[in-house]
A and B are shown apart, each in its own frame.
Chain A
Amino acid sequence: MDRSDSPTLVCTEAGVFAWPGYALVERQGARFVRASEREIGHLVGSLCGASVIYGPLIPTLDRAAHWLGRGELAKARACIASLRIPSRSPEIEKLYLRGAVDQLPPFVKVFNPDLHPRWPAGQSDGGQFRPAGGNSGRSNSESHHGINVAVRPKASECNDRCYRILLRSKPYRWSPINKDAYLRCFHDCMAEDG
């Protein structure tokens, strides 16, 4: 699998994919649908730099989706070829390939529930941050998936934000990219304040 020389965006009959295989435009029934601007911005922006987000990327993907929907693969490819996408960051590329959550990019804060304790759910201030060091009123056994029960609402919110990643097309059946991307998305979300 040659990855470093492969293009950042590829247009096929199945849709438009960003290296290393994320679907930016994909078939849904008879239509081709573009991923959200947020998802595309997060993915392509992290790979190639923020400048790409302010270019014609989104409208070009929309045009490509339009042509793919009409069976005009050559025109869709021409749209994608017209984009001037900056080179991928080798550092970020390495992280995407490894997909290791223990090697998160330096700009990602890792959420530590011990540093940001919350009052437990089910009480009037449930879910609100509480002072560190105090007793949360819960035993250690009351945790779920290694995530403190008090931050479960946040976990649910993060799952709502990230679950669609698991349903994206993959470059091949057993590719772990969706699993790795889901974990990154989930941990990024958990690391956000509020």
Chain B
Amino acid sequence: MDRNLARHIVWVAFREMGNLTDALPLAKAHESSQDLETYFKPAASIAGDIILGIIDPLTKRFPDIDTEMHEIIEKYGELI
């Protein structure tokens, strides 16, 4: 796979994983309902699959993508 394409996929996967995993803790901070807990594991498992199935293999194949991702987040506070 082309590196630019791999980078694009990692960026999108990281953002989507972040959107999913941020949503439930946000809800938890405002709502103490135990119902929320039932959604935590499925959401985190999907995020885990994104990490293990997409981000990790691609960043192992192109290690500089991982370095670049960390540098960009450190510099700008988000993945731009």
Interface of A toward B, CB cutoff 8 Å: 1, 27-31, 98-102, 144-147, 155, 159-160, 162-164, 166-169, 172-176, 178-179, 182-183, 186
Contact = CB atoms under 8 A, between A and B. Distances in A.
Contacts of A159: 45, 48
30 contacts: A29-B33, A98-B70, A100-B66, A102-B60, A145-B52, A146-B53, A146-B57, A155-B52, A159-B48, A162-B48, A163-B40, A163-B41, A164-B44, A166-B21, A166-B48, A167-B21, A167-B24, A168-B25, A169-B25, A172-B77, A174-B73, A174-B78, A176-B69, A179-B17, A179-B51, A182-B51, A183-B51, A183-B52, A183-B56, A186-B48
Contacts of B14: 176, 179
Nearest to B30: A29
B60 to A, nearest CB: 7
B63 A167 contact: no
Most buried by A among B44, B48, B49, B60: B48
B47 interface: yes
B44 A28 contact: no
Most buried by A among B24, B25, B60: B25
Label chain A's interface by main secondary structure.
mixed
Contact of A174 (B18, B28, B56, B63): B18
Contact of B56 (A29, A101, A178): A101
Contacts of A27: 28-29
A30 to B, nearest CB: 5
A174 B79 contact: yes
A145 B33 CA distance: 34
A29 B31 contact: yes
B18 A28 contact: no
Given A163-B40, A163-B45, 12 more contacts: A1-B74, A101-B60, A144-B53, A145-B49, A145-B53, A146-B52, A146-B53, A155-B52, A167-B43, A168-B25, A173-B78, A183-B51
Nearest to B70: A176
Contact of A28 (B28, B41, B49): B28
A144 B72 CA distance: 30
A187 to B, nearest CB: 9
B29 to A, nearest CB: 6
Contacts of B40: 163-164, 167
A132 to B, nearest CB: 24
B16 interface: no
A164 B28 CA distance: 13
A183 B16 CA distance: 17
